[in-house]
Amino acid sequence: MGTRNFLWDFGKKCFTFGLIGLTISDRYASIAHVQGLSMYPTFNPNARTFMGSLTDDYVLLEKFCLEKYKFSHGDVIAFRSPNNHREKQIKRIIALPGDWITAPHSYDALRIPEGHCWVEGDNSASSLDSRSFGPVPLGLACGRATHIVWPPQRIGERRRYNLTLTAPGKGEKGSAIEPRWWVRMGRLFVVTLDGGRVYSCKHCKTHFAYANQIISKAFHSKHGKAYLFDKVVNVTVGEKEDRLMMTGMHTVVDIFCVGCGSIVGWKYEAAHEKSQQYKEGKFILERFKVLGPDGSTYVNQDIQAGGSDVEDA
């Protein structure tokens, strides 16, 4: 009888402690095992030694941040992989909703959508992150890494990066061109075009294109002249739509300055007529909305009435 009571009491205590532990792990904090080299040297600095996984870091994940997704630039978070929800990853937050970031291997700029973040590993050569699968929904976050709890010689608060944010218009005085967006961890998110004649935004002077990238000046918009460029940088795009122009139906997207958000022209995604397909992938900058290479503005003396943003000659 005494043995039965002991086992019953022991079972109840184990069950109670199990529930408490599960509640704490689910709502307040948990321990996570960091594997691999994607966060080297912040985590697993000894992973390259003969000890291997025996010296892997274990980190404390606090979960109060999940209540209202209160994250900051530079936070290291654990999250479920967008490609496989059974797999968890740990990376550093580089950009948060509303931020702009340059797309990998491209001059195109990407705006982080609401409810998402951009994450990267500290060891970019060994990291599968947002550069591969894009912005991560904040709803996949499992917690924020605050402390290393194992191995013993590394116990303590993790090292934190101070990410420098430069707001538009706050560049260093005396520079050739003031930065118009931000620099994070040494990553420049606006391309500066040096060594040539450059067209730029008339509002914030963000660089768009070299003058020698002009394919044709024989285009028009409702504001007057418009130039066709082979390549344009520091712009983001709107939604695709079909527009009927003077030369036929085209699928286009509006383009916006990443520095101030103003619309500066459009990009040709597709031409429905074979004779116009040379425009596909090319950009239009409305001369009225940009500064010339000499800093000049353009005023159309005969602005066309009516029409849309796109009426090309």
Whether 200 is a known active-site residue: answer no
Q: How far apart are CA 203 and CA 263, in angstroms?
A: 11
* Omega before residue 151 within 30° of 0, cis: yes
Q: How many CB atoms lie within 10 A of CB 50?
A: 7
> Which one of 30, 38, 127, 221 is the catalytic residue?
38
> Which one of 30, 63, 91, 130 is the catalytic residue?
91
Q: How far apart are CA 166 and CA 89, in angstroms?
A: 29
Place of tokens 């599968």: 128
Say whether 234 sits in a helix, a strand or coil: coil
Phi, psi dihedral angles at 175 (to 5 degrees): -75, 160
Contact 127, 121 (CB under 8 A): yes
Whether 25 is a known active-site residue: answer no
Cα separation values, 68 from 65, 71, 146, 164, 264, Å? 6, 9, 18, 24, 36
The candidate with the shortest Cα–Cα distance to 158, out of 68, 90, 96, is 90
- Report, as residue numbers or ranges, the catalytic residues: 38, 91
